[in-house]
Amino acid sequence: MLSRRTLVSTAAALLATPAVTGRAFAQTVTLRSTDIHPDGYPTIEAVKFMGSLIEQRTGGRIKINVFHSAQLGGEKDTIEQTRFGVIDMNRINMAPFNNLIAETNVPSLPFLFRSVAHMRKVMDGEIGDGILNAFSAHGLVGLAFYDSGARSFYNSKRPIATLADMKGMKIRVQQSDMFIDLVNALGANATPMPFGEVYTSLQTGVIDGAENNWPSFESTRHFEVAKFYSLTEHSMSPEVLVMSKRSFDRLSAGDRDIVRAAARESVAKMRELWEAREKSSEATVRGRGAQVNPVEKQAFIDAMRPIYEKYVKDAALKAMVAKIQAVTLA
């Protein structure tokens, strides 16, 4: 064992050598980031890319370790752990935040965005920044939004072509009151459930269907047990990247800027990967027997009035929705 004297003199020697000091005493931090998707999914690769930018820019002092495939838990559970700093970062959908943070209901609203370009313009601009800021009152730092395409219904029973086809269907939703109400308003029966339980529940008939974008429909292999994919495209609820405020506050001001910038820069990377994955996932599921059909959307849109009335109540949220609807594309 080293004597106290040796330790003190070694430390003093290191301190006296400026070239070494920075490296020897700078703490190395590995941020733990969670995601329920499997390795290779665009959200995972985007956070890894962000990690590589941070690693380069901090000379290796800060790294990100991405725990994929729900290794750290389902989305609802990891929210709490992220708020308390047990998990440093979380790539997660907006929906599991809906009950906690009123503002997050807005971009999850049914039939709000007219197109991907509309969604991106809103989320990349000051409305998106306002929503990211809303996380700070809940122990979180909102870093960036990622694309999530459009969510459509799929089930094991029949194609959904009209609103009447939804009647009585048991549909899994994310753990969000707004999604429960949305599905019930369409005449179906909503069952909130973690993502990881959906395959078995479809297989055993606990539920008839669920709703998601092409990449998740494909990566989970839900198409094997629910082959009717109906293009309702009812929500474009984006993904969000958040950091624990406790972890964020432990970083120096300079490192916080590096983290924020790298998160923003990872958005373009994610979108590039996402666009390719949407196409390849669609081709894969079609090739493996999924039956895809168009939907008479207007009746679905009309049935959503109560959702807007219930979740867009206060003046600030009403103004936000009006602003989003008024956004035009050049």
Among 108, 155, 191, 212, binds ligand BDP (CB under 6 A): 212
**CB closer to ligand BDP, 83 vs 277:** 277
DSSP structural state of residue 328:
-
Return left, alpha or beta for 205; rule: phi > 0 is left, psi -120 to 50 is alpha, else beta: left
**CB closer to ligand BDP, 58 vs 104:** 104
CA distance linking residue 73 with residue 250, whole number of Å: 24
CA distance linking residue 99 with residue 275, whole number of Å: 29
Among 49, 135, 154, 195, binds ligand BDP (CB under 6 A): 195
Contacts of 224 (CB under 8 A, 6+ apart): 288
Among 216, 230, 244, 247, binds ligand BDP (CB under 6 A): 216
165 binds ligand BDP (CB under 6 A): no
284 binds ligand BDP (CB under 6 A): no
Q: Which stretch binds ligand BDP (CB under 6 A): 48-56, 154-162, 208-216, 314-322?
A: 208-216
Contacts of 322 (CB under 8 A, 6+ apart): none
Among 148, 152, 232, 266, binds ligand BDP (CB under 6 A): 148
The alpha-carbon radius of gyration of the chain (Å, integer) is 22
147 binds ligand BDP (CB under 6 A): no
Among 54, 66, 75, 163, binds ligand BDP (CB under 6 A): 75
Residue type, 183: V
235 binds ligand BDP (CB under 6 A): no
**CB closer to ligand BDP, 155 vs 216:** 216
Smallest gap from residue 193 Cβ to ligand BDP (A): 9
239 binds ligand BDP (CB under 6 A): yes
**CB closer to ligand BDP, 212 vs 281:** 212
Among 31, 36, 240, 267, binds ligand BDP (CB under 6 A): 36
Please answer whether residues 135 and 89 qualify as being in contact, where contact means their C-beta atoms are separated by less than 8 angstroms.
no
Please answer whether residues 179 and 190 qualify as being in contact, where contact means their C-beta atoms are separated by less than 8 angstroms.
yes
Compute how many other C-beta atoms are within 10 angstroms of the C-beta atom of residue 313: 11
- Taken in order 66, 47, 108, 114, the sign of the CA dihedral is negative
Which residues of this protein are in contact with ligand BDP, per CB under 6 A? 36, 75, 92-93, 148, 174, 195, 212-213, 216, 239
